[in-house]
Structure 1
Amino acid sequence: MSNRQKIVDSVPQTGFFGHPKGLFTLFFTEFWERFSYYGMKAILVYYMYYSVTKGGLGMNQQTALAIASVYGSLIYMSGIIGGWVADRLIGPSKSLFYGGILIMFGHIALAVPGSKAMFFTSMVLIILGTGLLKPNISTVVGEMYDINDARRDAGFSIFYMSVNLGAFIAPLIVGTVGMNYNFHLGFGIAALGMFLALVCYVLTRKKNLGLAGQFVHNPLSSEEKKTTFVKFGLAAVVLAVIITISAMTGILTVQRFIYLVGILGFVIPTIYFIYMYRSPKTTKEERSHLIAFIPLFLAAVMFWSIQEQGSTILAAFADKRTQLDFAGIHINPSWFQSANPLFIVVFAPIVGTLWVKLGNKAPTIPAKFAYGLLFAGLSFVVILVPALIGGTHALVNPLWLVLSYFIVVIGELCLSPVGLSATTKLAPSAFSSQMMSMWLLSNAAAQALNAQIVKFYTPETEMTYFGVIGVLSIVLSIILFALTPKIKTFIKDIR
């Protein structure tokens, strides 16, 4: 019996809305982890560019937007470390637990009133922690289902809803406290969310998850461990010395670091892909699946580039360009961050049910990705309408911003849960967790790209900015629709 089948047999297959019982554990662990992350993210940009007198760090707005994108990119880039650690050293279960501890301490560092040094310390902790947790919790979800289980896509949609429930509630709570009272108190509430995620996981994993997450799928031999630890140790020391000297001499500036991350965002997934493709542990059929993954990856980069600007460019748009006194209430700009997850919570079950009911008549994986790109592009084109109607200087009705978030959500439901599921299906068996890291690298590359392009967003270039990016996404969706039949030949029998 294969390890995959042993894992499936060990997990109670019913107990959570007709899905494996372990989905309960992972649902609520992810819910609280995402509450902590999106709570922090809802106020992060404002914390960076608000003046010191308002409790912020007083950064330039464009620099703050670029750093927020770099932060997001490095968080997803660190999934490489988490995937490798899980596949080769300790398995997905331990990886996500240790990652959660690092994230919690990262939020605690933000909660301590201090300086930019505390801010950057928290960044390092949260980046490393999310790298360990994020790819591995999705891997454990996939391990609970047989590869041909019809519930698999629906299971990922339910799991994805936990992400968005946490993301919906967090800006309303953390955003209100952080913006109206104190940024650091808001970050403290985010730390509490991560603590609750760890409690949920520890108390229920043995009973509900069976062997899911316990196997090290491609373990290092004793000899490999010795040489690997020596290499990594030396590399870490050399890197620390280079960074310290570069920072002290002024060679490493914030802007140069942003450029460096922009390059790494695309170089790392390219190297990673070549490594997996050329590995002797990858079969001929698995290589075909990897080829099919390339256009899906690039489509995801374009999609996430637009979607992730909801917490940077659109956050600034909400703060500076939107009419915040509406229908008798004053809208906190951070509340707009709840629009995207609210729409997903409402519509994810509908879309998940639709895919199950359509069965073999449902759009193929690449076609769903193409629809995702189409709606992403339209979400930016919509932002142009109020400027065309009322001019570029008038404050925008907040419903236009809400409509933009709604349209991109339709695209997200076509692409994101399907992408998670497709990645677990297309992954070479020796690289299951690392393939999930590759999927997360699409978001890393997108935000690395965003860090370079947000500087082009100004009040004067607003219409050109939204128009060019929106139209480009629509054009790429048309190209992907045209390539769908060819991609299907590489995917072979997987739907």
Structure 2
Amino acid sequence: MERIDKQTIVDSVPQKGFFGQPKGLFTLFFTEFWERFSYYGMRAILVFYMYYEVSEGGLGLDRNVALSIMSVYGALVYMSGVIGGWLADRIFGTSRAVFYGGVFIMLGHIVLSIPGSVVFLFISMALIVIGTGLLKPNVSSIVGDMYSETDRRRDAGFSIFYMGINLGAFISPLIVGQVQKDYGFHWGFALAAIGMFVGLVVFVLTRKTNLGLAGSYVPNPLTPDEKKKTIKIVSIVTIGIAVLLAILIPLGWFTINTFISLVGVFGIAIPTIYFIIMYRSPKTTEVERSRIIAYIPLFIASVMFWAIQEQGATILASYADTRTDLEFFGFTLSPAWFQSLNPLFIILLAPVFAWLWVRLGDREPSIPTKFAFGILFAGISFLVILLPAYFSGPDALVSPLWLVLSYFIVVLGELSLSPVGLSATTKLAPAAFSAQTMSLWFLSNAAAQGINAQLVKFYTPENETLYFGIIGGVAIVLSLILFALAPKIKVYMRGIH
């Protein structure tokens, strides 16, 4: 398909209809709401499912192995966005990618809802990794398609979209956690599958009237020669990997720990390669190359932020289960419910941040400055969580209010960085790599979780003060460096604000 001018796409979308935003934001808001309901509902109980004993309905895995697998799973979910973005940019467009991704995710949850072994767990993970890679970067890319580069509603629109993500993420741990408590893990996973099905229905029924041309085009389609070359390369690589694994696994040279280490390496290597390819591409203009340079320190800051934030589903989830007093004012808390804190605070504060950016107008902080605030708050959130161990020791159960405070502070950082990062990515992306650059943004999360898969091995209740202190301190130092570099980065952004 011939490339469509960006303004033509914007003009095809009804521009009024959802909180003063383009009408298509309704479709994408609720599609992502239900996708996040399914994902975060599953994630809220998955780590417990892995390390709880078989007698408790779990798989009985070692706790540290379960935490590492959880981090690797998250890394692969976001790494797969590279493939999803490439498929959207080169083969079938972002709208179809979103639909196909939703189908894979739903199938993954269905498999997980069937009582089985570790094999079922990994099959489910593979399906959800593929599906999320297709859906997540591309649904965000469609949001960017609906706005012109000069539309000042863009940041506010992404904040509203981000609130939809977190509304689903807030509700699901409460409901799925309760279903798991009353009926078992597999019924909780089945509920996640139903959530994704509802999201697919919303998308299919409303996309034609609300999205116009957004997501319907292929920005950089493969030529016939490129298709043949791609099929050949994919076939060779697939066969090569299969043969290699068939040899290494029986010999004991490829284990879970080996795989975890490889994911960490790929988490750093893949985005590095992507930056080089986009920068050197003949389809990238001089202005776009300058913007790519500006994007690199933002990417590094994002890795640091997500390395802390994503430990809310691993280290802090285990902390809630084993180190926290779950009897609170006569109520017995479920450790899964703490996964609702992050999205709850985002729901409450996202409108405030959206209003603040619009209200400040020309005084609004630059994108690099917002990123610096993001990792500053993330660092502080880890310094806060080390305090109860410092005061009470590693054996005493701590008040759940410490976890509440830590989640609250990291949300201040998330709202300074994450929706702004989504918006900045659509602004700074080279035209020929629009969906793939959005995939690159999510690779910052993949890199962070690949690093976390190694970091979580060092956590024990005995050394948690040192663990939280070092990671939090590094984040604060990096934030100060970014504050200092912000004016220079802004120059390289070439007019993007």
Q: TM-score, normalised by structure 1?
A: 0.99
Aligned to 2:495: 493
Aligned to 2:239: 237
Among 283, 287, 292, the alignment partner of 2:289 is 287
Structure 2 residue 208 is the aligned partner of structure 1 residue 183: no
What is the 5 A alignment of 1:128-147? 128-147=130-149
Among 327, 334, 350, the alignment partner of 1:348 is 350
Post-superposition offset of 1:359: 1.3
Please give the alpha-carbon distance, in whole angstroms, between the structure 1 residues aligned to 2:28 and 2:347.
Answer: 17
Please give the alpha-carbon distance, in whole angstroms, between the structure 2 residues aligned to 1:180 and 1:391.
Answer: 34
Contact 1:43 1:179 in 2 (8 A): no
Please give the alpha-carbon distance, in whole angstroms, between the structure 2 residues aligned to 1:27 and 1:245.
Answer: 46
Other structure's SS at 1:273 match:
helix
Post-superposition offset of 1:2: 5.2
Other structure's SS at 1:78 match:
helix
Structure 2 residue 187 is the aligned partner of structure 1 residue 170: no
Q: 1:127 to 1:2 in 2, by over 3 A?
A: closer
What is the 5 A alignment of 1:147-158? 147-158=149-160
Aligned to 1:117: 119
Aligned to 1:391: 393
Post-superposition offset of 1:238: 1.8
Other structure's SS at 2:434 match:
helix
What is the 5 A alignment of 1:413-428? 413-428=415-430
How many pairs were matched up?
A: 495
Structure 2 residue 221 is the aligned partner of structure 1 residue 211: no
Aligned to 2:412: 410
1:236-286 deviation line (CA, Å, top 9, x unaligned): 222222223322322110001000001000000000110000000000000
Among 11, 14, 19, the alignment partner of 1:12 is 14
Structure 2 residue 466 is the aligned partner of structure 1 residue 468: no
Aligned to 2:54: 52
CA RMSD of superposed structures (Å): 1.0
What is the 5 A alignment of 1:36-51? 36-51=38-53
1:411-432 deviation line (CA, Å, top 9, x unaligned): 0000000000000000000000
Post-superposition offset of 1:492: 2.1
Contact 2:379 2:475 in 1 (8 A): yes
Amino acid at match of 2:64: Q
Aligned to 2:102: 100
Amino acid at match of 1:355: W
Other structure's SS at 2:456 match:
helix
What is the 5 A alignment of 1:197-276? 197-276=199-278
Amino acid at match of 1:300: S
1:459-483 deviation line (CA, Å, top 9, x unaligned): 1111100111011101110011011
Contact 1:175 1:335 in 2 (8 A): yes
Please give the alpha-carbon distance, in whole angstroms, between the structure 2 residues aligned to 1:43 and 1:348.
Answer: 26
Aligned to 1:30: 32
Please give the alpha-carbon distance, in whole angstroms, between the structure 2 residues aligned to 1:93 and 1:27.
Answer: 14
Other structure's SS at 1:460 match:
helix
Please give the alpha-carbon distance, in whole angstroms, between the structure 1 residues aligned to 2:96 and 2:338.
Answer: 35
Amino acid at match of 1:329: F
Aligned to 1:483: 485
1:167-188 deviation line (CA, Å, top 9, x unaligned): 0001001112124431111000
Contact 1:172 1:338 in 2 (8 A): yes
Contact 1:366 1:480 in 2 (8 A): yes
212-221 vs 231-240, greater mean Cα deviation: 231-240
Aligned to 1:369: 371
Among 417, 434, 437, the alignment partner of 1:432 is 434
Please give the alpha-carbon distance, in whole angstroms, between the structure 2 residues aligned to 1:245 and 1:336.
Answer: 43
Other structure's SS at 2:164 match:
helix
Q: TM-score, normalised by structure 2?
A: 0.98
1:179-210 deviation line (CA, Å, top 9, x unaligned): 44311110000000110110000000001000
Other structure's SS at 2:460 match:
coil
Structure 2 residues not aligned, in runs of 5+: none
1:442-493 deviation line (CA, Å, top 9, x unaligned): 0000000000110000011111001110111011100110111111110121
Among 441, 444, 447, the alignment partner of 2:446 is 444
What is the 5 A alignment of 1:59-70? 59-70=61-72
Contact 2:389 2:464 in 1 (8 A): no
Contact 2:305 2:375 in 1 (8 A): yes
Structure 1 residues not aligned, in runs of 5+: none
Amino acid at match of 1:38: Y
Please give the alpha-carbon distance, in whole angstroms, between the structure 2 residues aligned to 1:177 and 1:92.
Answer: 34
349-358 vs 238-247, greater mean Cα deviation: 238-247
Contact 1:309 1:450 in 2 (8 A): yes
Please give the alpha-carbon distance, in whole angstroms, between the structure 1 residues aligned to 2:158 and 2:245.
Answer: 40
Amino acid at match of 2:31: T
Please give the alpha-carbon distance, in whole angstroms, between the structure 2 residues aligned to 1:392 and 1:310.
Answer: 19
Amino acid at match of 1:115: S
Please give the alpha-carbon distance, in whole angstroms, between the structure 2 residues aligned to 1:488 and 1:128.
Answer: 35
What is the 5 A alignment of 1:63-102? 63-102=65-104
Amino acid at match of 1:325: E
125-134 vs 175-184, greater mean Cα deviation: 175-184
1:129-152 deviation line (CA, Å, top 9, x unaligned): 100001100000000011110100
173-182 vs 435-444, greater mean Cα deviation: 173-182
Among 302, 305, 309, the alignment partner of 2:304 is 302
Aligned to 1:455: 457
Contact 1:93 1:214 in 2 (8 A): yes
Among 287, 312, 315, the alignment partner of 1:313 is 315
Post-superposition offset of 1:222: 1.5
Amino acid at match of 1:297: F
1:348-396 deviation line (CA, Å, top 9, x unaligned): 0000110011112011000000000000000000012222332332111
219-228 vs 411-420, greater mean Cα deviation: 219-228
Aligned to 2:196: 194
